[in-house]
Amino acid sequence: MWNASFVNIKELVLKRAAGRTPLRIHDLIGDTKVSRQAIHKHIKELVRQGKLRKLGETRGVFYVRADTPPAPAVTVSKTYLRKGLAEDEVFDRMRRIHRLKELLPLNVLDLFRYAFTEILNNAIEHSRSTRVRVLLHIDPYLARFVVEDAGTGIFATIRNKFHLPDEYTALQELLKGKTTTAARGHTGEGIFFTSRAADSMEIMSHQIGLTYDNRIDDVFVREIRQKRGTRVAFEISRRSRKKLETVFEAFAGRQFDYQFARTSVRVKLFKGTADFYVSRSEARRLLHGLDRFKHIVLDFKGIRGIGQGFADELFRVFAARHPRIALEPVHANAAVAAMIRHAMNPGAVPGRIRR
């Protein structure tokens, strides 16, 4: 046992942190008989000085020296025959072999399992690929998986099913939620909720790359080199405080009888890089399929302006046809907000347009 009266606590902390096992405060308490508060004060100072690195959170917090190389990451890649594959069995096998329950906090494990099984199920049931490749990567900071197939492609599948003009239009439908090419077996909610569960998620298929970045609350679309089939990459911090139930609550909460009844649509993604929308046809394309929801958030972030016809189709014509559906415009600049007020009942506007 260490005698705290003769040993500098900070030196002891750094020595123990250089060991092969993670340093935890309760280990030092047992060795030194020094109070938790005193040890925590020294550790906090070492972290501030950049000599110690804090990993994990709450009861899982541990410390390593800042100059200690990161712990070896868990990286595994496996290819499966799609026919007869069961997504839950694949995940449970990975969880056992790679001890995910020990590596990830429960809230992160719940989110990771939900996302993994949803995305792998999509590949199993929709891709028509002979094989599906799965990659799992866990490092000290992030949990990540990739599901990749060589099938039809997610955007092409939606385009073909709904007879859409191109894959960009299919992407727009996917972003709304509830879009499925197999209505008997699916609600179309999987991609929507999975994208909200991630810190970041990327879908790549053919020449389209779609990225959800929830760290900055934005969505990006870019043109990529031709990619056969579909590749989905999901990533979440091991220290994330997000919970699966709060992801569902935001869009399928008690106020909607726990049905998926609220969606958020980013207007800027419905016409490439355009930042000005003027026509009724553009508005109708944006609204297509949204009558399945009770609450529609229309996000005007990045939109420079809208025309009278576009605004009228959204906030008067659609609203009159669907009086029980709430339309909530957000992030509208002054010009857009003025056009919305012109189209709506003036008494309904104040307080409804978030900037």
CATH class, domain 74-245, is: alpha beta
Per-residue pLDDT tens digits of the chain, which is 355 residues long: 444 443 478 888 888 777 655 677 776 776 667 787 888 888 888 888 888 888 765 555 777 787 766 655 789 999 999 999 999 999 999 999 998 988 899 999 999 999 999 999 999 998 999 999 999 999 888 899 999 999 999 999 999 988 998 998 889 888 887 555 444 434 357 788 899 999 999 999 999 999 999 988 888 899 998 889 999 999 999 889 999 888 877 665 555 444 567 888 888 877 655 678 888 888 888 888 888 888 899 999 989 898 888 999 999 999 999 999 999 999 999 989 988 988 886 444 433 444 4
The pLDDT, as a whole number, for residue 34 is 76
The pLDDT, as a whole number, for residue 5 is 43
Integer angstrom CA distances of residue 241 from 62, 105, 168, 226, 300: 17, 9, 34, 36, 28
Architecture of domain 9-65: Orthogonal Bundle (1.10)
DSSP labels, 96-153: HHTTHHHHS-HHHHHHHHHHHHHHHHHHHHH---SEEEEEEEE-SSEEEEEEEE-SS-
Q: Does the pTM exceed 0.75?
A: no
Provide the residue ranges of all domains of the chain, joining segments of one domain with +: 9-65, 74-245, 261-348
